[in-house]
Structures are given as structure tokens and as C-alpha cells.
Amino acid sequence: MDTRHIAFFLPALYDGGAERVTVNLLKGMLEKDVQLDLVLASADGPYLSQVPKEVRIVNLAAGRVVKAIQPLSRYLQQNRPCALVSHLAHANVIAVAAKELARTKTRLVLVEHNTLSASKSQLMRAKLVPPLMKWFYPRADEIVGVSQAVARDLECQLGFDQGKVREIYNPVVNHQLIA
């Protein structure tokens, strides 16, 4: 396992806040002496062109994120990053399953960007993912909310002890964020 190799996992790079934050975080980490991989279930979306050329893009070519368990597991076995940072609830569930399947020592960090209690979606995914989160999330090495409200809401909605979810605010401030 390479101690200077960090991978980030997302379904794709469409117009969402988590996607933009991840690209900005990758840009901010370039000055560190670390190998960065951006692992995508499908290498699509407008933010793809904004990923720095120094970041290796790994296209799992899975299409839908639910089909990425096996390809992500293979990636973890073959590349053995020291950490996998996953964003978005449905991708986080897949990341936990893939890491369990891979049986690697890669540390798994799940980042949650939204409050579960505010979700009004009628999509099937919105109904299936929260129970899976309750079962899979405790298997991660760290669970992070991007704000105190997100962290506390996640603990409350999933029945976790207070303090189980750490809050780490989006760390990269650039001119696009300020504009």
C-alpha cells in the first residue's frame, strides 16, 4: 500500500456541489507530495475537463454507480491506495461494499454533503439508500459531514452516537467560490 496515494470516488462529474468540491480539493492537493486518482463509475460530466492533468482519472466504465462494486474492488486490489475518499450517499454505500470485497487495508472515508431529513425525493434510490447507509456506514474508517448540521442530521437519522460523524468544512476557497 502506497502511503502517498489517495483516491477519490464519485459516480461521475455532473453539475453538483460534491463534484465541484472534489475537483477543487484535487486542485488544492496538487502541491502535496501525493499521487491522486479520481475514480469514476462513469467518466462523464462537465467537470471532467477541469480535473488537473496531474490527477489520474480512472474510468470504471460501469455506467450506473450500482454496477461499480466489482470494478472498484478490482481497482482497490490492484492499486492499493492508502485512502479512498468517497462522496455522495449511494456511491458511499458502493465504496464500502467494494472495500469489503477487496479486503485491502485502504482506509475508507465517506463524505456526506446533504441532510437526510430534508430529502423529499420519491426516487427509488432515496428510499433504498438510507437503510443501506445505516448498515454500511459504520464499516468505514471515517464518516464526514461537510457541516455541523449535516453531521448531526446523519447521526440522528441513522441512529449513530453523537460524534460518530466528524464535520470537515469544504477546505478549498478559490475565486470561483467567492464569485
Residues 6+ apart with CB under 8 A from 107: 82, 83, 84, 141, 142
Q: What is the model's pLDDT at position 179?
A: 44
DSSP E strand boundaries for the chain: 2-10, 35-40, 56-59, 81-87, 107-112, 142-145, 165-167
Query: 4-8, 15-19, 38-42, 60-64: which has the minimum mean pLDDT?
Result: 15-19
C-alpha span between 83 and 139 (Å, rounded): 14
pLDDT tens column, 86-123: 999 999 999 999 999 999 999 999 999 877 766 655 55
pTM for the structure as a whole: 0.88
Is it the case that residue 7 has pLDDT exceeding 90?
yes
Q: How confident is the model at residue 32 (pLDDT cuts 50, 70, 90)?
A: confident
- Helices (H) and strands (E) counted in the chain, each on its own, are 6, 7
Domain annotation for the chain: domains and CATH numbers:
2-178 (3.40.50.2000)
Mapped onto helix, strand or coil, the DSSP state of residue 36 is strand
Q: What is the model's pLDDT at position 157?
A: 83
pLDDT tens column, 37-78: 999 999 999 999 999 999 999 999 998 999 999 999 999 999
Query: What is the identity of the amino acid at 138?
Result: P
Closest of 82, 75, 61, 74 to residue 11, by C-alpha = 61
pLDDT tens column, 127-177: 678 788 889 999 999 999 988 988 888 888 888 888 888 888 766 555 554
Mapped onto helix, strand or coil, the DSSP state of residue 44 is coil
